[in-house]
Amino acid sequence: MSTAYLNGTFLPLEQAQVSVMDRGFLFGDGIYEVIPVYNRKLFRLPHHLKRLKNSLDGVRIGNPLTDAEWSELLIELVGRNAGDDQAVYLQVTRGVAARRDHAFPVDTRPTVFAMSTPAPAVSTRASEAGVKAITLPDIRWQQCDIKAITLLPNVLMRQQAIDAATAEAILIKNGYAIEGAASNLFIVLNGDLVTPPNGPALLPGITRDLVLELAAANGIPFREADIPELELEQAEEIWLTSSTREISPVTHLNDRLIGNGQPGALWRRMIRLYQDYKEALRRGEAS
């Protein structure tokens, strides 16, 4: 049975309950993080805590814990749960108010919840098959850099992708490819790795940043630039990155082959670098 954390207490997940008056439940008024755990070590925790703080600031919820307290809580949560590899989910809502009112309640304590589930290893071999994706109009709001729990557009778009027998939707806004419904986007164009620049249109992914760091450290040419829809269609390779999927090669877009319909050469190189980084983290030699 997995152990969760709720407002200062560790307890069995099944027993963790919040009030129906919680603003997360009534308004989707909260933010979240997903943090991978490899060999019981939290992956890039300082980066996740920084993004958590940015999201809290973005929705004007005071950070209920210091970074040291977050760190202690999450390490304890991982320790109390089974599996060397896990995925930690945490969320902070504006809390429970006496009545339903859009305006912020006064003197409300944020609700802090965290859980961790065993993470099946994302095998390179499974990724070798590649995934299919479709493009869809981006129907989200204008502050997608905030990791808000209000995910209805993402849920609807991901489901549309699944209904089309694909793994992910790549979102198009004003003629540009932005990111996936729950992942960041990379393409390889004329041998260069390209990803859209961070900004309000997309989530600043932790996996994305690591891929860019690995590219820089290994002499792989890359740029952060807008990706017109036409370039997406012409790309030699398309990758989707996230904490849970790592680096997923897209081999079919809207039923058309990308490259020769197999994961590309640069993906092969990058996934190796990424796995090496994870191995170093497992050994305690990286963060």
Cβ neighbours of residue 61 under 8 Å, at least 6 residues apart? 30, 31, 92, 93, 94, 110
Q: How far apart are CA 157 and CA 139, in angstroms?
A: 8
Query: Is residue 86 close enough to count as binding ligand PDD by CB under 6 A?
Result: no
Query: Is residue 198 close enough to count as binding ligand PDD by CB under 6 A?
Result: no
Query: Is residue 179 close enough to count as binding ligand PDD by CB under 6 A?
Result: yes
Which of 41, 50, 132, 147 is labelled catalytic? 147
**C-beta of 49: minimal distance to ligand PDD in Å?**
12
**Number of residues located near ligand PDD, criterion CB under 6 A:** 14
Query: Is residue 74 close enough to count as binding ligand PDD by CB under 6 A?
Result: no
Is residue 147 part of the annotated active site? The answer reads yes
Q: Which is nearer to ligand PDD, 22 or 246 (CB)?
A: 246
Burial of 71 from C-beta contacts in 10 A (0-12 / 13-18 / 19+): middle
Q: Of 58-66, 75-83, 199-207, 221-229, which segment contacts ligand PDD by CB under 6 A?
A: 199-207
Query: Is residue 184 close enough to count as binding ligand PDD by CB under 6 A?
Result: yes
Q: At what angle do helices 67-80 and 45-59 cross, to 10 degrees?
A: 120
Query: Is residue 183 close enough to count as binding ligand PDD by CB under 6 A?
Result: yes
Q: Which is nearer to ligand PDD, 3 or 241 (CB)?
A: 241
Q: Which is nearer to ligand PDD, 36 or 130 (CB)?
A: 36
Q: Which is nearer to ligand PDD, 55 or 81 (CB)?
A: 55
CA atoms within 13 A on the CB side of 240: 27
Q: How far apart are CA 25 and CA 31, in angstroms?
A: 12
Cα angle: 57, vertex 149, 199; to 5 degrees = 55
Q: Quick one: which of 241, 247, 266, 270 contacts ligand PDD (CB under 6 A)?
A: 241
**C-beta of 150: minimal distance to ligand PDD in Å?**
12
Query: Is residue 242 close enough to count as binding ligand PDD by CB under 6 A?
Result: yes
Asked whether 74 and 87 are in contact (CB, 8 A), the reply is no
**C-beta of 62: minimal distance to ligand PDD in Å?**
23
Q: Of 93-101, 121-129, 176-184, 226-234, which segment contacts ligand PDD by CB under 6 A?
A: 176-184
Query: Is residue 91 close enough to count as binding ligand PDD by CB under 6 A?
Result: no
Q: Quick one: which of 205, 249, 259, 264 contacts ligand PDD (CB under 6 A)?
A: 205
Catalytic residues: 147
Binding site for ligand PDD (CB under 6 A): 34, 179, 182-184, 203, 205-208, 241-244
